Amino acid sequence: MSRISRRFKQLEARHQTALIPFITAGDPNPEVTVPLMHALVAAGASLLELGVPFSDPMADGPVIQRANERALKHNISLRDVIGMVHRFREQDQDTPVVLMGYLNPIEALSYQKFAQLAGAAGVDGVITVDIPPEEAGEYLAELRAQQLDPIFLLAPTSDERRIKLICDAASGFVYYVSVKGTTGAASLAIGEVASKVFEIRKATKLPVGVGFGIKDPESAQAVAQVADAVIVGSVLVNQIEALAAQPEAIAPALASSISRMRSAMDLI
């Protein structure tokens, strides 16, 4: 069983919903990332989602675009990000780590090389924003050969046929993008999210994570009532941006946000 599946089983046994913070690797500088990952776990993160910087993050809103630009000022490459996961694993063997990024840096390395390096470093899953299952045959084979879970996004515009197609290609969990828009978009409508998650559950037994538009403990709590995982990104990356000049303050600030969300989610 993969580290991701094991973690969801543990959470289920404790009747807890997973909380997955997103940060961009190397933002605002490369030294911050690994200690920050440990701090997020200590504060209650169940899995970690690590953004791989890309020059053209088409699916991201302004907050995460700027995080990509800050990281790229340090020339953070996909190999560097994998190296960070390797260092994280020296102290943490249990918390799953999922990379999120765009296809071109992976193609530049080659699918096979990427999967081998990521698997060896202790990466557990990969969200590749701009490759739908229709184009992913060869890529999926390489990921699976290294026991990496391909995690796909589902959207409000995904119809029944696409939900089935995507759930069949995915493993680990599926990620429902709760609003039409980019990361950091407007607040989600919980009623609509609930009915779409219900539809997704008919197509798969995989855990369903929900992200985009979760901004505070209240929205995290609301989503926790319908989803298996709450994914939160832009609100954390905003804090990183505000504290970029005092990087030592970043980990305590984000830990505090995560721990407040965790507490709110555990009240249900």
Residues that bind other proteins (CB under 8 A): 54-62, 65, 69, 72, 75, 77-79, 102-109, 129-132, 134-135, 152-159, 162, 166, 177, 180-182, 185
- Is 241 annotated as catalytic? no
Q: Computed over its alpha carbons, how large is the radius of gyration of the chain?
A: 17
| Residue 135 Cβ vs other proteins, minimum distance, rounded to whole Å | 5
- Is 60 annotated as catalytic? yes
| Residue 210 Cβ vs other proteins, minimum distance, rounded to whole Å | 14
- CA-nearest of 113, 119, 75 to 99 is 119
| Residue 208 Cβ vs other proteins, minimum distance, rounded to whole Å | 14
Helix (H) or strand (E) holding 208: strand 208-211
The total of other beta-carbon atoms located within 10 Å of residue 3's CB is 20
- Closer residue to other proteins, CB minimum distance, 107 or 218: 107
- Closer residue to other proteins, CB minimum distance, 58 or 268: 58
Query: Out of 12, 56, 60, 168, which one is annotated catalytic?
Result: 60
Query: Out of 12, 27, 31, 49, which one is annotated catalytic?
Result: 49
In whole angstroms, how far apart are CA 139 and each of 128, 132, 144, 267? Answer: 10, 11, 9, 40
Q: How far apart are CA 153 and CA 112, in angstroms?
A: 22
- Closer residue to other proteins, CB minimum distance, 46 or 171: 171
| Residue 97 Cβ vs other proteins, minimum distance, rounded to whole Å | 20
The total of other beta-carbon atoms located within 10 Å of residue 248's CB is 9
Q: 98 and 124 in contact (C-beta within 8 Å)?
A: yes
Helix then strand count (H, E) for the chain reads: 12, 9
Matching residue, tokens 């305590």: 252
Which are the catalytic amino acids? 49, 60
